[in-house]
Amino acid sequence: MSETYRQGRYIPKNPSKYIGDITKIRYMSSWEYEMHKFLDNNPNVIEWASEEIAIPYLKPTDNKIHKYYVDYYVKYIDKHGNIKTELIEVKPAKQTKLSRSKKTATQLHENITFAINVAKWKAAQEFAQKKGWMFRIITENQLFK
């Protein structure tokens, strides 16, 4: 499945599992839409939320504290019957590494975005660890298996 531009409001089939305001669930891509459906319909997911948790991070481009709204908070039962909690970010694989673009301006822009994302992910990792949770990044390689 390719990353096509799709956005809208999501109406959960299992609203009792959603933590937050169910009237404000949105998706900004087809990938987020697919993730919403997966979390909503998966019987092992106890509760979930989309962009409900704000994590402060130091933005490297201005050296100021900003808020990072991680894509997902998920509490679920793993394959061993243990309850786990994760913060999950959904990103295209190409945005999880330094750019190799041949165009200098494109490479600069993509690498600045990557540096900002790394700062966000570091803050999310630290936030999650303090709570005994996990943080991970999911790309199309995991999302569409």
Tell whether the model's pLDDT for residue 129 goes beyond 90.
Answer: yes
Q: What is the mean pLDDT of residues 108-123?
A: 94
* Residue-number span of the structural domain to which 57 is assigned: 8-143
Query: What is the signed CA dihedral for 1, 72, 69, 125, rounded to 10 degrees?
Result: -110
The pLDDT of residue 5: 62
Q: Between 47 and 95, whose confidence is greater?
A: 47
CATH number of the domain enclosing 137: 3.40.1350.10
* Position 71 confidence tier, pLDDT thresholds 50, 70, 90: very high
Hey, which residues are catalytic here? 32, 71, 91
DSSP code, position 51: S
2: in domain: no
Tell whether the model's pLDDT for residue 142 goes beyond 90.
Answer: no
Cα angle 139, 134, 31 (rounded to 5 degrees) comes to 25
Q: How many domains does the chain have?
A: 1
92: in domain: yes
Q: How many CA atoms lie within 13 A of 48 on its CB side?
A: 23
Per-residue buried b or exposed e for 12-22, using 16+ beta carbons within 10 Å of the residue's own CB: beeeebbeeee
DSSP code, position 137: E
State the maximum Cα–Cα separation within the chain, in Å, rounded to a whole number: 49
The reply to whether the predicted model has a pTM over 0.85 is yes
Q: What sign does the CA torsion over 1, 44, 68, 52 have?
A: positive
101: in domain: yes
What is the secondary structure of 44-92 as a DSSP string? Answer: TEEEEEES--EEEEEETTTTEEEEEE-SEEEEEE-TTS-EEEEEEEE--
Q: Is the CB of residue 28 less than 8 Å from the CB of residue 84?
A: no
139: in domain: yes
β-bridge mates for residue 50, sequence order:
72
How many C-beta atoms lie closer than 10 Å to residue 8's C-beta?
A: 10
